[in-house]
Chain A
Amino acid sequence: MPKFMKLLVAAAAIIALGSGMAQARDQVKIVGSSTVYPFSSYVAEELGATTKFKSPVVESTGSGGGHKLFGNGVGLNTPDITNSSRRMKASEFEKDQKVGITEITEALIGYDGIAIAQNGANAPFSITKAELALAVMEMVPVGGKLVKNPYKTWDQINAKLPKRKILFYGPPTSSGTRDAFAEMVIGKFAKKHKDLYAPISPKGKAKKYESVRQDGVYVPAGENDNLIVQKLTKDKAAFGIFGYSFLEENSDRISGAKVDGVSPTPDTIAAGEYPISRSLYFYIKKAHLDKVPGMKEYVELFMSEKMIGPRGLLKRIGLVPLANDLRKQVQKDVLSYKNLTLEDLKH
């Protein structure tokens, strides 16, 4: 008998330990883009360290995965905020509305430039967007027809460029950075030659052509890899394609090439002069604002000058801040939790 009592007491204790302690959710849950992840987790940590709120949990699921989890429903077992390295799609917005997520606030936090980086000791390198496209695409126009990309050295594309072999380490197909890069560089080029590209593009729209060459000149690699920097330091001819924040973090070993004559710096990216840049967002599920402690404070902290301002902490880790007027407008809209509408997304 005593043995059995001990067992029961132990069982009760464990159950009490597990379930009694778990109250209604007291932690903000954030999912989404791997590009926004470093900034989001920085703010999360700051919140947890300097206030009495628990640090928000930030998961790097990718923008697509983030939107899916966000759109699972409006209950407390779904994420509160999703980070995104691209604007929410109209289709995602409509799906959210259908599940009951009727009030969403969009927060534009800054820009991310996509840098073409090389070994820091190399001479400065400058190319046009078109030349970059020609180096990277699967099919290129030669003599009025599309052929498989034959260029192996840069001087084959433009005689004024050095005789340097073409080699890229870039994001893999699952990455949002790759999508952005393909859209801005390859898609735009295809659009300019749309009679050539439209027949082989999805839905016949040349601007959606995003195929990267598969012959080993473009090597997919992770985005935040020490391996890429290692490779660039060893292989002086290679280029790495990744977000500006990574370039900034390793600025002692690598430097960015000029595209269309513009170097990737926070000023040129913010002003839109650097031609390969994209906006970073996070989306707030308004229904959770009053139910999850710390959520409002997280949003306020993120939107503060201390974080996303021109001398803010996030700039130090590579976020390119918005221009002053735009930033002030966004801060005002977000802190008043302005509702996102379908019309906004269609622009």
Chain B
Amino acid sequence: MQISIDPKQLKRRERRDRMFVGYSYAAIFLAGAFLVFFFADIVRTAWSAFEQAELRVELHYNEEAKEMGDYALSEEMSYLVSRGVTRLIPNQMRENRSLLGTTQEKWVLADAEVDQYLKGKPNRLKKKERQLVDRLRDEGHARLAFNIGFFENGDSKLPEMAGIWAAAVGSMYVLIITFLFSFPLGVATAIYLEEFAPDNRFMQIIEVNINNLAAIPSILFGLLGLSIFINFMGVPRSSALAGGLTLSLMTLPVIIISTRAAILAIPDSIREGALALGATRWQMVLTNVLPLSLPGILTGTIIGLARAIGETAPLMIVGMMAYIPEAPDGFTSAATVLPAQIYTWSSDSLRAFTERTSAGIIVLLAVMLLMNGVAIYLRNKYETKW
């Protein structure tokens, strides 16, 4: 039989083929373009937050300053200097009596409005104040220094003093608790389901259940945390423990699913070999299956934890969206976490907080990228193809 190939049709098909390939690459590049755009935008807004304005002023430690720190400065300067500095002066004078009567020239933190003005952003300085700042700048008494306070301080109502330290420590505590609860439970469940569970109706229900849990909206876990952990079990509200427990329930399905996948990947020959040598089932799991699947388990856990560290909605309901300027010093003291801090700053009306929100986002993203990077590294290094 003669097969005739129509060259025009062939050409059309070839063109369509090439366009198809083009579409698929275009899709990936579109996603990549968004990623680049997103990072560029965040870095651009955040850049200015890493610098903070400082002024070189004369502090007169006089009698009035012992009561109200503002009096250590001339009146016009007292409006330009941050309140975070002036409120500490009475205490300093009380602790160091020799300060009384002296005058010192120091670089101190400037008020947020001065900071915004020096960065060229919209601000609320009055004309006279602007002129004063200009004069100071010309004299070399105003500068933008590296904002170490952002990393050292906790939250503050004064934007120039606000930092992420408290939130970072809180996030770490929450992460530890989440790991402590979800890792053993998750791995144990996965081991049971894969190695020991009989194949009956009940096990199927458990499996369906776990898959469902993985997709339940995070805010409902918050409701659970509120009613069971806080109301029923009496865990203190806003504590790292409450947040950690709630998040561990959320991370549990992720760990279970990835552990199961890791265990499934191990060929049966390894299992049978161990059993043939006389090991009991448990010994086989403990000495053969677990060590070999550990990289996969860790990868899944790290990814699950990375997701947990970025969660906000359930923690809102458990009370961690509060004003907590100091880092927690235990699992039961009130704490806040990085994403919650970002959210609170983004809803503050003072403009100076916008750049800090972006800076906080960069810190959070850096942590996530680090964690994801470690997970990917582990996966690449230890992934064995059976």
Contact = CB atoms under 8 A, between A and B. Distances in A.
Q: Do chains A and B touch in the complex (CB under 8 A)?
A: yes
A49 B319 CA distance: 23
A338 B354 CA distance: 43
A14 B180 contact: yes
Contacts of B64: none
Given A57-B323, A59-B238, A59-B319, A252 B333 contact: no
Given A41-B157, A49-B84, A77-B234, A55 B331 contact: no
A48 interface: yes
Given A224-B348, A225-B349, A42 B330 contact: no
A45 B156 contact: yes
Interface residues of B, number: 38
B349 A58 contact: no
A41 B319 CA distance: 15
B236 interface: yes
Given A38-B157, A60-B322, A22 B349 contact: no
Contacts of B321: 59-60
> Counting chain B CB atoms within 10 Å of each CB, which of A22, A61, A251 scores highest?
A22
Contacts of A50: 87-88, 90-91
Interface in B318-363: 319, 321-326, 329-334, 347-351, 354
A122 interface: no
A306 B71 CA distance: 14
B135 interface: no
Interface string A37-79: 1100110111011100011011111000000010000000100
B330 A48 contact: no
A45 B158 CA distance: 9
Contacts of A222: 347
B347 A55 contact: no
Main secondary structure of the interface of B (DSSP, over half): loop
A231 B214 CA distance: 39
Contacts of B323: 37, 41, 44-45, 57-60
Given A27-B333, A50-B90, A55-B325, A226 B157 contact: no
B124 interface: yes
A22 B87 contact: no
B12 to A, nearest CB: 50
Contacts of B329: 21
B157 A42 contact: yes
A57 B87 contact: no
Contacts of A61: 319
Q: Which 3 A-B pairs have the closest CB atoms?
A: A21-B330, A59-B322, A22-B332
Interface of A: 14, 17-19, 21-22, 25-27, 29, 37-38, 41-42, 44-46, 48-50, 54-55, 57-61, 69, 77, 222, 224-226, 229, 246, 249-252, 306, 313, 317
